[in-house]
Homo-oligomer: A and B are copies of this chain.
Amino acid sequence: AAPARPAKLGQCVACHGEDGRSRIAGTPHLAGQDETYLVNALTAYRQGRRQAVPMNTIANTLQPRDIAALARWYAQQRAPGSRP
């Protein structure tokens, strides 16, 4: 079944899109990305081990369950460039 819409998805969609297809050059596509990588990236932003504006600020508002839900959501989106 499609993953539930994460409560904090609203903070991501401006740059990453709801479908994980980046709206801005330089902003990565997240659709179909490796779920573990997404959890690790968000955790690194939250712990300051990785820096990017505005990711650190946003990651600080995320609980581990938010990180898990957002990583699952984007990992399961159809990847960019793939036929709908």
Chain A residues in the interface with B (C-beta under 8 A): 22, 25-29, 31-34, 36-37, 40, 49-51, 78-83
What are 25 residue pairs bridging A and B, where the CB atoms are less than 8 Å apart in the complex?
Answer: A22-B34, A25-B36, A25-B37, A26-B34, A26-B36, A26-B37, A27-B34, A27-B37, A28-B33, A28-B37, A29-B33, A29-B34, A29-B79, A31-B79, A32-B80, A32-B81, A49-B51, A50-B50, A50-B51, A78-B81, A79-B79, A79-B80, A79-B81, A82-B82, A83-B83
Q: Which of B32, B34, B36, B40 contacts A79 (CB 8 A)?
A: B32
- Which 6 A-B residue pairs are closest in the complex by CB-CB distance? A82-B82, A79-B79, A32-B81, A26-B36, A28-B37, A25-B36
